A and B are shown apart, each in its own frame.
Chain A
Amino acid sequence: MRVDASRFVPVLVRFADDPSRAETWGRLLSLNPDGARLILRAPIPVGGLLLLDFDVFGDPFSGVEALISDPSLDEDGYTVAGVSFRRTEQRVAVGRAVRRVVASELPDDR
């Protein structure tokens, strides 16, 4: 498991709508410049705003604002949700990191 667990980007989750709520953690199941799919143990509300901290293969991202869409419970009781990154500059930065990793798109000149 040591081999595989770290493959799915661990993510620190803070609740921007409710600072009193304790921060929690989960993983990104997938990631693209516009958003991600998130899996975590804690329940999260649809439309809520999260602040995410994670690394994309060495590039650290902190406080990425992510709006929750279509959260659902999987069979085990984990919450799986799509999140879309709200701020343009953060989308650009994540996109740049993803592109650097895959090198499969035109160079980003922005």
Chain B
Amino acid sequence: MAVLAVVAKDEEQRLTLKLALEELGHLVAAAKDLSGAMEIVSRQRPRLMIVAQAPSETVAESALAELEREAPLLPVIVAMTERKAARALDLLKAGAYEVVAPPWTAEHMAATVSKALRFKGTAFEASRPIEKKIGVGAYAALGLLLVAMAAGWGALERHRRLARESEVPVPPSEFALPYAHPAGLAYDGKRYWISDWFSQTIHRHDPNTFAVLRTRYLPQEVPGALAYAGDALYAAAAPRGIVKHLLDDRLSVLSWSRDAAPQTVGLAYDGLYLWSVDTKTKKIHKRIPDEGLSVIESYPYPGGVPTALTFDGRALWSLDWTNRELLRHDFKNPNRVTMRLPLDAYRGGRWKPTGLAFDGSRFVSTAEELPRGEGLGRVFIHEIPPEHLRAILTP
């Protein structure tokens, strides 16, 4: 049973909402104004707040601003006294979790309250679809299947035993990401950083499981390509910028530079220079990490379509989507390719690579599913054949 905060200056509205929410099985703490509501927030820690207001009022916006400091992850549902879709859209853009129109009945509010209570501070998301009812025929088929399974059980067990005996643990070569639009990847020696352009976030990931360790929302930028640079992270930010972030918990912005060579899809830092590759001119650019990230030299890209760039400690690598391969570039003349590594993960054309990193022994890439946005993003681990790895580490 969750405590829900209700704010409504009109007593009748307050009572209507309270009754509806209690009917749904929740405890309700009601207040007539915002200061009362904030007291409820600090004392009772409600799971969500419902603000009743007329479309012309701005109580919800004030509540959102107040809660930004006190309880930034508390979902706020606006119960509008009148159905006005345009105003509802404004409230959603302002940060309301959801807007509900009259009637404020338990039945009408159940879905919204249920979804808001699931919210864990990450996203507005669809939950599992409702399962369809199974008919008699399906039960019969299930019975037959169970009989067949029992018959095959012995053989399966024997197969498993043999498999266990010869089993060599193989680490997974790909990981599903909990978001759909990964756009850049960087490795800082301990953790991976992945940007998601659609949700305007940069996520920090565990290097072994790729579980999300931390998420930072960046309302002022749409992050794309990433590069790790000492205690900072460079992020290409659409439509035409490169942002330098401090690697603190907030990813504080150190500087913003207008990108002199857009559209940057790959960034890499070699310890001295920042390198970028763009798809507009298809060139690799060498930049001084000064205030404007000035381009000092540019080289024609020697592959088809570049999608990412990284530095392995000795050389620059790019991911060429056209030929589904990694290219190692001559450091003095990146137009010259010194090694090619085919990437089987991209052969089928299902995935579009978006980021690349090297962890000292393997390449790691991020990808979007095609058509874009249809499914969750992916991380691929690209093992390197031993002879190639030796050549990479001791060129």
Which residues of A pack against B, CB within 8 Å? 1-8, 10-13, 22-25, 27, 29-34, 36-37, 39, 41, 53, 55, 57, 72-78, 80, 98, 100-107
Q: With both chains docked as a complex, state the minimum distance between the C-beta of B274 and any C-beta of chain A, in angstroms.
A: 16
Would you call A34 and B95 a contact (CB within 8 A)? Answer: no
Residue of B nearest to A77 (CB): B111
Would you call A36 and B118 a contact (CB within 8 A)? Answer: no
Residue of A nearest to B48 (CB): A1
Q: Give the 3 A-B residue pairs with the shortest CB-CB distance, closest first.
A: A2-B95, A103-B263, A77-B111
Q: Mark B137-156, 1 if CB is under 8 A from A, else 0.
A: 00000000000000000000
Would you call A8 and B124 a contact (CB within 8 A)? Answer: yes
Q: A5: which B residues are within 8 A, CB to CB?
A: 75, 92, 95-97, 124
Residue of B nearest to A95 (CB): B372
Q: With both chains docked as a complex, state the minimum distance between the C-beta of A12 and any C-beta of chain B, in angstroms.
A: 5
Given the known inter-chain contacts A24-B85, A27-B92, A107-B279, please indicate yes or no for A7 contacting B123, CB distance below 8 A: yes
Quick check: is B231 within 8 A (CB to CB) of the other chain? no
Q: Mark B213-232, 1 if CB is under 8 A from A, else 0.
A: 00001010010100000000
What would 18 A/B residue contacts be, using CB atoms closer than 8 Å? A1-B72, A1-B73, A1-B75, A2-B72, A25-B88, A25-B99, A27-B124, A29-B126, A39-B124, A41-B98, A41-B111, A53-B89, A102-B222, A103-B236, A103-B238, A103-B279, A104-B265, A104-B354
Cα of A76 to Cα of B116 in the assembled complex, Å? 10
Cα of A29 to Cα of B200 in the assembled complex, Å? 13
Q: A106: which B residues are within 8 A, CB to CB?
A: 279, 305
Q: With both chains docked as a complex, state the minimum distance between the C-beta of B70 and any C-beta of chain A, in angstroms.
A: 11
Q: Mark B238-250, 1 if CB is under 8 A from A, else 0.
A: 1100000000000
Excluding A3-B95, A22-B85, A76-B112, 9 further A-B contacts by CB distance (< 8 Å) are: A2-B68, A7-B199, A27-B92, A39-B126, A41-B100, A74-B129, A80-B129, A103-B236, A104-B183
Report the contact-size class of chain B (Cβ under 8 Å from the partner).
35 or more
Q: A102: which B residues are within 8 A, CB to CB?
A: 181, 183, 197, 222, 224, 238
Quick check: is B171 within 8 A (CB to CB) of the other chain? no
Cα of A101 to Cα of B238 in the assembled complex, Å? 5
Q: With both chains docked as a complex, state the minimum distance between the C-beta of A91 and any C-beta of chain B, in angstroms.
A: 11
Would you call A10 and B93 a contact (CB within 8 A)? Answer: yes
Quick check: is B167 within 8 A (CB to CB) of the other chain? no
Residue of B nearest to A39 (CB): B126
Quick check: is B14 within 8 A (CB to CB) of the other chain? no
Cα of A5 to Cα of B92 in the assembled complex, Å? 7
Q: A10: which B residues are within 8 A, CB to CB?
A: 89, 92-93
Which residues of B pack against A, CB within 8 Å? 64, 67-68, 72-76, 83, 85-86, 88-89, 92-100, 110-112, 114-115, 118-119, 121-130, 180-181, 183, 197-201, 217, 219, 222, 224, 236, 238-239, 262-265, 278-280, 305, 307, 352, 354, 371-374
Residue of B nearest to A1 (CB): B75
Would you call A41 and B68 a contact (CB within 8 A)? Answer: no
Q: B112: which A residues are within 8 A, CB to CB?
A: 41, 76
Residue of B nearest to A99 (CB): B263
Given the known inter-chain contacts A12-B86, A78-B115, please indicate yes or no for A2 contacting B76, CB distance below 8 A: yes
Cα of A40 to Cα of B100 in the assembled complex, Å? 11
Q: With both chains docked as a complex, state the minimum distance between the C-beta of A72 and any C-beta of chain B, in angstroms.
A: 5
Would you call B97 and A1 a contact (CB within 8 A)? Answer: yes
Q: With both chains docked as a complex, state the minimum distance between the C-beta of B179 and any C-beta of chain A, in angstroms.
A: 9
Would you call B217 and A30 a contact (CB within 8 A)? Answer: no
Residue of A nearest to B305 (CB): A106
Cα of A12 to Cα of B93 in the assembled complex, Å? 11
Cα of A42 to Cα of B119 in the assembled complex, Å? 20
Cα of A76 to Cα of B124 in the assembled complex, Å? 12
Given the known inter-chain contacts A4-B121, A102-B224, A104-B307, please indicate yes or no for A30 contacting B115, CB distance below 8 A: no
Residue of A nearest to B99 (CB): A25
Would you call A4 and B217 a contact (CB within 8 A)? Answer: yes
Cα of A8 to Cα of B85 in the assembled complex, Å? 17
Cα of A37 to Cα of B181 in the assembled complex, Å? 13
Would you call B97 and A75 a contact (CB within 8 A)? Answer: no
Would you call B88 and A104 a contact (CB within 8 A)? Answer: no
Q: A37: which B residues are within 8 A, CB to CB?
A: 373
